Structure 1
Amino acid sequence: MDVELRHLRAFAAVARQRSFTRAAEQLLITQPALTRTVQQLEAALQVRLLDRTSRRFELTEAGQEFLIRAERVLAEMDEALAAVRGQVTVRLGFSWLLPDPWAQHAVSMFEQATGNTVSLVRCDDPLSCLRQHTIDVALVRGDIAPSPIRVVHLFDEKRVAVCSEHSELADREQLAWSDVTKWPLVVNTLSGTTGPWTWAPGEGPARIIETANFDEWLESVAADRGIGVVPDVARRRHIHSAVRFVPLVGAPPVPVSLVFMPHVQEALMRKFVEAAVAATSS
């Protein structure tokens, strides 16, 4: 059996803590698993590193010598990993308007915790970019089938109606969700969150104006071709001087999720997901 870094870290933790229980807590593993790992190391080296009794243990002479060398190896490896991690960039893809302040908090927490950096990549179709490996993780709105990609739901966003400043809706204080279908609906077919698919068959708006991306969608709404429905984050961003926002009553929320490919940079993605989830409560 080859000696691996996990064996060295397990032995060093036990030697420093002088306790299998405390070492297991530090390494976030069970005590039986830690014991097996140290035993595997001794078997691989064919030498006893610890003299155990029912209540305590002591490092053998070989164990004391090996600890010095193991800690030196671990320190050098940690330095090497830190140097490499500082050059790693996670590419976060999004179609439009990252949620705030979630995005700022998630990026900051991840970068501080790992030393890595996050690159924000604007793409009309994040799922396609993810499959093509031009991004590492995507922020996606709407319902997504999890297989074969991994989906982690973060939170839900409220919907708001958008209309031209010249629309008769512009001065409305609110609009009922049931009344949205009475208006022509401008739809972003590539990355929009509201479209004919939002309603049951035959219950959606009678007229649909299709656009291929966010910019086309926005300009079509501003030109009073119809109304749009988007997450509330758009209202806070003042996205266009010629559009107005109307609160919706009774509208279903928009799910917001992180999406990534399985078995690709798993450790790094786990750290990013942890930061993303933690940021939802910040």
Structure 2
Amino acid sequence: MVSGTTSLDLWPLDQRPQKVVRVRNVDEWLEAVAAGRGVGLSAASTGLMYTHPQIVYRYLDDTPPVPITLVWRLGEENPLVSEFVATAKALQQAQRLDLPLAPDTSGSPALQPVES
């Protein structure tokens, strides 16, 4: 099935599906799957947000992570937004360095490496 950001360009030319079901949104995608018109892959969050009595979701091992983005309003002045963005950046840096993280119990939102 092809919908949203999924397109035939995701497949090499010689491995593209021969039959494509085009849908415009998640609801149409779910109905197409439920009707037996195809199967699909989606982020795990889809199964948490969208249920259907005729749909089964299963986690797949050894799949690449799904990239997500953090979005906020340009020029945002709310200190909670700034704090959240700073925390997200700290988490991203810690993951790049492969540091294990422990919750900060000091009241600060900063992420701290786990002491060995």
TM-score range normalised by the length of the shorter chain: 0.5 to 0.7
Q: CA deviation at 1:242?
A: 0.7
Aligned-pair RMSD on alpha carbons? 3.2
Q: Is residue 233 of structure 1 aligned with residue 36 of structure 2?
A: no
Q: In 1, Cα distance between the equivalents of 2:65 and 2:15?
A: 18
Identify if the C-alpha distance between structure 1 residues 246 and 207 changes in structure 2 by more than 3 Å, giving closer, same or farther. Answer: farther
Identify if the C-alpha distance between structure 1 residues 204 and 260 changes in structure 2 by more than 3 Å, giving closer, same or farther. Answer: farther
Identify if the C-alpha distance between structure 1 residues 239 and 265 changes in structure 2 by more than 3 Å, giving closer, same or farther. Answer: same
**2:28 maps to what in 1?**
216
Q: In 2, Cα distance between the equivalents of 1:205 and 1:249?
A: 23
Write out the 4+ residue segments of structure 1 that deviate beyond 6 Å after TM superposition.
278-282
**2:9 maps to what in 1?**
197
1:115-154 alignment runs, 5 A limit: none
Q: CA deviation at 1:240?
A: 0.9
Q: CA deviation at 1:231?
A: 0.7
One-letter code aligned to 1:206: Q
One-letter code aligned to 1:188: S
One-letter code aligned to 2:3: N
Q: Is residue 265 of structure 1 aligned with residue 80 of structure 2?
A: no
SS in 2 for 1:242: coil
Which of 158, 182, 188 is the aligned partner of 2:3? 188
**2:54 maps to what in 1?**
242
Q: CA deviation at 1:248?
A: 3.0
1:90-101 alignment runs, 5 A limit: none
1:2-41 alignment runs, 5 A limit: none
Bigger RCO of structures 1 and 2 (CA < 8 A, at least 6 apart): 1
Structure 1 runs not aligned, ≥5 long: 1-185
Q: In 1, Cα distance between the equivalents of 2:18 and 2:61?
A: 20
Q: 1:93-122 deviations in whole A, cap 9, x for unaligned?
A: xxxxxxxxxxxxxxxxxxxxxxxxxxxxxx
Q: CA deviation at 1:273?
A: 1.9
Identify if the C-alpha distance between structure 1 residues 250 and 279 changes in structure 2 by more than 3 Å, giving closer, same or farther. Answer: closer
**2:113 maps to what in 1?**
none
Identify if the C-alpha distance between structure 1 residues 279 and 200 changes in structure 2 by more than 3 Å, giving closer, same or farther. Answer: same
Q: Is residue 274 of structure 1 aligned with residue 86 of structure 2?
A: yes
Identify if the C-alpha distance between structure 1 residues 278 and 221 changes in structure 2 by more than 3 Å, giving closer, same or farther. Answer: farther
Aligned pairs, number: 92
Structure with greater helix percent: 1
Q: CA deviation at 1:277?
A: 5.1
Structure with greater strand percent: 1
Which of 58, 63, 66 is the aligned partner of 1:254? 66
Which of the pair has more CA radius of gyration?
1
Q: CA deviation at 1:256?
A: 1.0
TM-score (structure 2 length as normaliser): 0.56
Identify if the C-alpha distance between structure 1 residues 253 and 195 changes in structure 2 by more than 3 Å, giving closer, same or farther. Answer: farther
Identify if the C-alpha distance between structure 1 residues 237 and 253 changes in structure 2 by more than 3 Å, giving closer, same or farther. Answer: same
